[in-house]
């Protein structure tokens, strides 16, 4: 990190990198805590050292003008909702999986660097993303991949869990809006007001691909499975003027089409390690 900062003189860091899959965090929690919490601290330290006007003075709060550290977080740090309500930026953190606990931990470290060292930071907490290039461990690409191959579609529990889906391009536009107009130290929730039950999405994918519903296979539920997420996006829409552009109908069709047109990408990344993960997770 030190070397990269010295070479490129970054003025902005957007920290997207993370161990991001809940099911994998159940299998290997330590990896998640190390990567997501200690990894975040490593990046914060590098940014702080490079951006501080007096890098060796822990008590100084003066930074080069215009620098910004943005932590890409998740709505999962807020825990789960019942039928009613939405997550706002002031909803208490209540993570339920090792993954979401590691993201909540990282958010608290980012917050502490702002409070203690005056580092200009933002945190964005987005709902479920979908779109091209998503790794087929996540619901939508996994179901497209399996349906194409006429493999069973593993639905956890009753399939009635609800997620608030946002196209990845809309997420990126929200991050750009926060970088341009966000106030340092602020958290912004990002979501598309687009709640869907998992089973609805799975049925839609089968329909689009012309595959039978008999491929649906109800399997054992994910432990600690959050029932519902929903984002209140009032802060980012009213203060920063961001709005999602994609409707779910357009976005999901384009996404399915993208996966159909890129079988070589999918084949390449679903060999090797993915195959081992898939067997451990779904076949054993």
Residues that bind ligand DAU (CB under 6 A): 20-22, 74-76, 127-128, 138-139, 142, 154-156, 161, 163, 198, 222, 229
User: What are 199's two structure tokens?
Assistant: 């089973």
Q: Can 28 be counted among the known catalytic residues?
A: no
Least distance between ligand DAU and beta carbon 225 (Å): 6
**CA angle at residue 17 from 124 to 37, to 5 degrees?**
80
Query: Distance between CA 199 and CA 214 in Å, rounded?
Result: 13
Residue 150's contacts (CB-CB under 8 Å, 6 or more residues apart) are 211, 215
Residue of 242, 106, 119, 113 lying closest to 174 (CA atoms): 242
User: At closest approach, how far in Å is the CB of 16 from ligand DAU?
Assistant: 11
- Locate tokens 């799975």: which residue? 202
Per annotation, catalytic residue among 63, 69, 78, 99: 99
Does residue 115 contact residue 180 with C-beta atoms inside 8 Å? no
Nearer to ligand DAU, 15 or 163 (CB): 163
Classify 123 as helix, strand or coil: strand
Indicate if 226 belongs to the active site: no
**Do residues 68 and 179 make contact, with C-beta atoms less than 8 angstroms apart?**
yes
- When the beta carbons of 118 and 154 are compared against ligand DAU, the nearer one is 154
Q: Which is nearer to ligand DAU, 157 or 185 (CB)?
A: 157
Task: Name residue, tokens 């993370």.
Answer: 18
- Nearer to ligand DAU by Cβ, of 107 and 114: the residue is 107
The residue whose Cβ lies closest to ligand DAU is 74
Shortest Å distance, C-beta 95 to ligand DAU: 10
CB-count burial class (<10 Å; 0-12, 13-18, 19+) for 53: exposed
CB of 22 to ligand DAU, least distance (A): 4
To the nearest 10 degrees (0 to 180), the angle between helices 198-209 and 248-261 is: 50
Given the residues 19, 63, 69, 75, the one annotated as active site: 75
Beta carbon nearer to ligand DAU, 113 or 130: 130
In three-state secondary structure terms, 51 is helix
Active site residue 99: yes
What is the smallest separation between the CB atom of 133 and ligand DAU, expressed in angstroms? 14
Residues noted as catalytic: 75-76, 99
């Amino acid at each position: 990190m030190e070397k990269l900062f010295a070479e490129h003189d970054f003025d902005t860091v957007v920290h997207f990198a993370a161990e991001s899959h809940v099911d994998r965090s159940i299998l290997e929690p330590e990896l998640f805590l190390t990567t997501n919490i200690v990894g975040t601290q490593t990046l914060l330290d590098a940014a702080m050292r490079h951006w501080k006007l007096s890098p060796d003075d822990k008590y100084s709060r003066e930074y080069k003008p215009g620098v910004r550290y943005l932590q890409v977080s998740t709505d999962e740090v807020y825990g789960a909702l019942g039928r009613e309500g939405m997550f706002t930026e002031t909803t208490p953190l209540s993570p339920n999986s090792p993954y979401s606990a590691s993201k909540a931990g990282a958010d608290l470290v980012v917050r502490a660097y702002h409070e203690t060292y005056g580092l200009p930071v933002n945190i964005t907490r987005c709902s479920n993303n979908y779109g091209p290039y998503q790794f087929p461990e996540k619901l939508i690409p996994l179901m497209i991949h399996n349906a194409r191959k006429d493999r069973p579609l593993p639905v956890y529990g009753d399939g009635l869990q609800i997620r608030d889906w946002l196209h990845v391009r809309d997420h990126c536009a929200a991050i750009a809006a926060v970088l341009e107009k966000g106030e340092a130290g602020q958290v912004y929730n990002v979501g598309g007001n687009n709640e869907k039950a998992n089973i609805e999405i799975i049925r839609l994918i089968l329909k689009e691909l012309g595959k039978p519903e008999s491929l649906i296979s109800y399997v054992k539920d994910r432990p600690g499975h959050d029932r519902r997420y929903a984002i209140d996006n009032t802060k980012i829409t009213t203060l920063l003027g961001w709005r999602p552009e994609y409707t779910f109908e357009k976005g999901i069709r384009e996404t399915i089409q993208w996966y159909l047109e890129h079988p070589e990408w999918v084949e390449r990344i679903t060999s090797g390690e993915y195959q081992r993960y898939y067997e451990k997770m779904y076949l054993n």
